Amino acid sequence: MTARRAPNRAQRLIVQARLDRAVEGADLLRTKEDVLGRERQRLLGHATRTEQEWTEHCVRCTEWLQRALLLGGGSELDGLVAARLGGASVTIEWQHAMGVSYPGDVASAVTPATGLNATAALAAAGEAMQEALAAGVVHAAARAALSRLDDELRATRRRRRAIEQRLVPRLERELRQLDLDLDEREREEAARRRLAVRSGQRMSR
């Protein structure tokens, strides 16, 4: 069994420094939480708006498809299936907040489909689908950004709580015990010194 080392002032300084760093780290993590929390509120509002816009575009798309069906019957659907769909590309501008990267502004380019000129309703339905696709891309980016921020916010909160609820109390207990041990050691040393002085005085008589 390893003998416990006698407490000393150097040990106390080390534990105090660790405690100070832990408290400072928890404060920094709380600041990060606050910043991420505000950004999350902004992104949540953005995601809510983009979802509403995407839904509106989908409704408009459905309405135009129904009009096309009423005007042209099944032949309109055949035309839609036979249409040559254009390509699409997405450009994402990444944003950064407190070490977190997430999608910011999103631009999408859709090549217009060909072969949708049978009726005005079918052409409008094609345009509505392209607009719905673009709105869906924006909403998907907003949801992805919110998800990334939520993950980082949860991880930051876990780290802060681990420091505040486990590390800091443990270091505080260790520091209190060191103070008690040092105080007891100093009292013992003082008692030995007094005893030595008394012994010296008796021997000198």
CATH label of the domain that carries residue 58: 1.10.287.3240
Q: Would 194 be classed as within a structural domain?
A: no
Report the alpha-carbon distance of residue 194 to residue 186 in Å, rounded: 12
Closest CA to 46 of 131, 139, 136: 139
- Domain tally, the chain: 1
Q: Would 52 be classed as within a structural domain?
A: yes
Q: Would 23 be classed as within a structural domain?
A: yes
Q: Record the tokens describing residue 180, joined without a space.
A: 């008690």
Domain that residue 85 falls in = 19-159
Report the alpha-carbon distance of residue 116 to residue 94 in Å, rounded: 35
What's the mean pLDDT when you consider all of the chain? 86
Closest CA to 127 of 107, 148, 110, 108: 110
Q: Among positive and negative, which fits the CA dihedral 39, 44, 47, 49?
A: negative
Q: Would 139 be classed as within a structural domain?
A: yes
* pLDDT surpassing 50 at residue 197: yes
Q: Would 70 be classed as within a structural domain?
A: yes
Q: Would 167 be classed as within a structural domain?
A: no
Q: Would 190 be classed as within a structural domain?
A: no
Choose between 66 and 28: higher pLDDT.
28
Choose between 125 and 18: higher pLDDT.
18
pLDDT range class, residue 1, cuts 50, 70, 90? very low
Summarised one tens digit per residue, pLDDT across range 48-92 is: 999 999 999 999 999 988 888 887 766 666 666 666 556 778 999
Q: In this structure, what DSSP letter does residue 114 have?
A: B
Query: pLDDT at position 87, please?
Result: 74
Summarised one tens digit per residue, pLDDT across range 131-164 is: 999 999 999 999 999 999 999 999 999 999 999 9
Q: Would 133 be classed as within a structural domain?
A: yes
